[in-house]
Structure 1
Amino acid sequence: MSSEGSFERVRVLILEDNNHMSTILRKVLQGFGIRQIYETRDAADAFEAMRNHNPDLALVDYMLGDVDGLEFTQLVRTASDSPNKYLPIVMVSGHTDRSRVMEAIAAGVNEYLAKPVRPIDVYNRLVALIERPRRFVKAPTYFGPDRRRRQDPRYTGPWRRATDKQNMSKDDDVDFG
């Protein structure tokens, strides 16, 4: 789907424990023509919604109750019973300091969206997920979308960092493509 296309067939899961914020996200998505929106308040309900509705993407709050957005993302990516390890996840948070963003990226989110949300920013994240999806990487300590935003033309090997190669055994299953 291109950005000129319609979003009407896109299914979105919202994992947000604040009713007001969930309503704002729903209204913004509806403004883009999205009609299949599944709102949940906690990780267990979100997993159930993933099983029942097979969403195309999820908007996940960083700060939740028992299981926060980071833990939820890690469960989606690594749990043996995950309904979809490849689900595109946009972390939504009022915490925009570099350390929080880096934690979210390390957990396996595809995009990060700062609160208060602006419709144009939500739209841009949706378009990025659809038009520029990132390949998934499986490494010893990470599974998720490739964290590199650009390709470095000077990089010539399969290992991103020299320490990655040192920490790997020859039997580790790694897919860098």
Structure 2
Amino acid sequence: MSNRHRHDFSQLSILIVDDCRFMRMVLERMLQALGVTKIRFASDGFEAWEQLLDSEPDVILCDWEMQPEDGPSFVRRVRLDQDSPCRYVPIIMLTGYTEKMKVMKARDFGITEFLAKPVAARSLHARLVQIVDNPRPFVRTASFFGPCRRRLNLPIFDGDDRRGAHEEIDI
């Protein structure tokens, strides 16, 4: 059975944060095709923050370039603000700029996954599967808080000391 049919995304709630109405509509259609029924929208980081205070999504899709609050500022606020209602929410950063430095910067401010525009439905599906099947532990250092930036392929440990999906690792 393919991954597409193996995952039921119907219970996921997703917040799309993008200042382009057309892009929000395209992402909504893709998510609906994947079975997602709980979709909300914001046009910038400030509006998205208000949405988070009202209801916590399971996943955030966030554009990089927005005004007045851009994606990086919003992600930092979600991860670092003491009043953040959902510091551990998986965040997929969307951008048309995919040079290596930008990807590394996004990773360094706490995103979970990175997705290049124009977005392909197959790529969006793959990121959602990754989030559901392989939740990353969160790491706290003096200069970083967010999902572990390494792609760890560790054997699954099922004993008493097993880390939960939202457990933090201090480094």
TM-score by length of 1: 0.83
SS at match of 2:35: coil
Deviation per CA, 1:46-98: give whole Å up to 9, x if none. Answer: 11211222100000001111221111110000011111100100000100000
Gaps of 5+ in 1: 153-173
The residue type equivalent to 1:175 in the other structure is I
Gaps of 5+ in 2: 155-167
Larger radius of gyration: 1
The amino acid that maps onto 2:117 is: K
Q: Which amino acid is the alignment partner of residue 6 of structure 1? A: D
1:61 to 49, 60, 63: 63
Aligned to 1:36: 38
Question: Are 2:46 and 2:74, in contact at CA under 8 Å, matched by a contact in 1?
Answer: no
CA contact (8 A) 1:47 1:83 kept: no
Note if 1:144 corresponds to 2:138. Answer: no
The residue aligned with 1:132 is 134
Shift of 1:119: 0.2
The answer on whether the counterparts of 2:7 and 2:129 sit within 8 Å (CA) in structure 1 is no
Instruction: Tell me the equivalent position of 1:99.
Output: 101
1:88 aligns to 2:90 (yes or no): yes
- 2:121 alignment partner AA: P
Q: Does 1:72 align with 2:74?
A: yes
- Partners of 1:56 and 1:35 in 2: how far apart? 12
What SS does structure 1 have at the residue aligned with 2:61?
strand
Partners of 1:22 and 1:117 in 2: CA distance: 11
Q: CA contact under 8 A between 2:14 and 2:61: conserved in structure 1?
A: yes
Distance 1:36 1:12 in 2: 6
Q: Describe the SS at the equivalent of 1:125.
A: helix
Query: Secondary structure, in 3 states, of the residue corresponding to 2:170?
Result: coil
Amino acid at match of 1:73: V
Deviation by residue 1:94-149 (Cα, 9 ceiling, x = unmatched): 00000111110000000000000000000000000000111000110000000011
